[in-house]
Amino acid sequence: MSFVAVRKDAIYFHELHATADTMAAEIHAGLSSEQKALPPKYFYDKKGSELFDAITRLPEYYPTRTEIGLLRRHAPEMAELLGMQSFLIELGSGSSTKIRLLLEAVRPRIYVPMDISREHLITAAQRLADDYPWLTVHAACVDYSRPWDVPDFGPGRYNAFFPGSSIGNFEPGDALRLLRQVGRLVGAGGGLLIGVDLKKDADILEQAYNDAQGVTADFNLNVLAHINRRLDADFNTGNFAHKAVYNAVSGRIEMHLECRKDHTVCIGGTRYSFSSGETIHTENSYKYSVEEFHGLAAQAGFSPVRVWTDREGLFSIHYLKLG
């Protein structure tokens, strides 16, 4: 896999990204299956990233403020474990907000924010580089649900940072594949600092994904608007309603878009039929106990070093070491 670094103002930019053809094929496969589904990564165009940021500020959405609380409280210990002068790669970096709590203490040789949402990634990386003039930033536009890599920076200590419980968006088998890929990236002795949402009362979970202001609904519906923009499609978002429920058997929040009436949608010349009441499954958000997550990480070769949780047991941050 080769990357071409482009200098964009204060940052270097690398691209290894899904093409429109890949997106069309994935959307077609998802909408042709018996339970229609769309990959959650397609929430995230510029608008989707902005809506996600709005979600993080909602009173019902406990994960972001709880994880930030843990980062604030335990930053010195986390920084000591990460060590100084490492190559620090952040998966799904979004607005690169949380890393700010660790940057001064860990002073990485290079920081690599990695995200699928191209424009948002570039804006966030440039803002960070402006705020930390000593920091070398190599932003990488990468789809980490497909085989990926990051530029090779040569020998040194590698750490990965994966906040936001985005690991929960993967089926456990895919989460394991991703953790193995992270393991190959950081190599023996490398570390992973990862935020993982904990199993809890279904009411708290369902409120977090069904906020009163309807921001999560707009975020969910944005996947259809994104497909319209990218693939010449004619989804009418008014024909769908947001739905989020906790599936206790699978231990996951499921987000769906429920169709309000029988109709058809044209995507790039292909017609798809939707019946009233049927749903498009748009996202899973798996919740793990600390032990369950340690079990998963161990299968990828990671050993637990330290785990931090809040007093209410809502969220966890793990520091794991390869080997």
Tell which residue, 281, 242, 208, 238, has the closest CA to residue 55.
208
Could you give phi then psi for residue 204, rounded to 5 degrees? -65, -40
Q: Where are the alpha helices (H) located in 159-214, listed in sequence order? A: 172-186, 202-208
CB distance 43 to 52 below 8 Å: yes
Q: What is d(CA 148, CA 73) in angstroms, rounded to the nearest whole number?
A: 33
Q: How far is the CB of 149 from ligand SAM (least distance, A)?
A: 13
- Residue closer to ligand SAM, measured from CB, 40 or 183: 40
Q: How far is the CB of 169 from ligand SAM (least distance, A)?
A: 7
Q: Among residues 123, 126, 145, 210, which is the contact residue for ligand SAM, using CB under 6 A?
A: 145
Contact between 282 and ligand SAM by CB under 6 A: the answer reads no
Contact between 41 and ligand SAM by CB under 6 A: the answer reads yes
Tokens linked to 186 = 């950081």
Q: How far is the CB of 239 from ligand SAM (least distance, A)?
A: 25
Q: How far is the CB of 94 from ligand SAM (least distance, A)?
A: 3
Interface with ligand SAM: number of residues (CB under 6 A): 20
- Residue closer to ligand SAM, measured from CB, 113 or 191: 113
- Residue closer to ligand SAM, measured from CB, 94 or 108: 94
Q: How far is CA 92 from CA 113, 117, 151, 256, 300, in A?
A: 7, 9, 16, 22, 19
Q: Among residues 164, 183, 190, 191, which is the contact residue for ligand SAM, using CB under 6 A?
A: 164
- For 85-108, b where at least 16 C-beta lie within 10 A, e where not — what string? ebbbbbbbbbbbbbbebbbeebbb
Contact between 14 and ligand SAM by CB under 6 A: the answer reads no
Tell which residue, 273, 297, 226, has the closest CA to residue 31.
273
Q: Among residues 143, 197, 211, 218, which is the contact residue for ligand SAM, using CB under 6 A?
A: 143
For every residue of 60-114, DSSP letters joined together read T-HHHHHHHHHHHHHHHHHHHHH-SS-EEEEET-TT--TTHHHHHHH--SEEEEE
Q: Among residues 92, 108, 172, 191, which is the contact residue for ligand SAM, using CB under 6 A?
A: 92
Contact between 172 and ligand SAM by CB under 6 A: the answer reads no
Q: Among residues 61, 144, 170, 302, which is the contact residue for ligand SAM, using CB under 6 A?
A: 144
CB distance 143 to 174 below 8 Å: no
Residue with token string 């693939």: 231
Contact between 216 and ligand SAM by CB under 6 A: the answer reads no
Q: What angle do CA 174, 179, 181 make, to 5 degrees?
A: 95
Which residues within the stretch 100-119 sit at the binding site for ligand SAM (CB under 6 A)?
115-117
Contact between 98 and ligand SAM by CB under 6 A: the answer reads yes
Q: What is d(CA 276, CA 195) in angstroms, rounded to the nearest whole number?
A: 38
- Residue closer to ligand SAM, measured from CB, 128 or 265: 128
Contact between 3 and ligand SAM by CB under 6 A: the answer reads no
Contact between 47 and ligand SAM by CB under 6 A: the answer reads no
Residue ranges in contact with ligand SAM by CB under 6 A? 41, 44, 49, 52, 56, 64, 92-94, 98, 115-117, 142-145, 163-164, 166
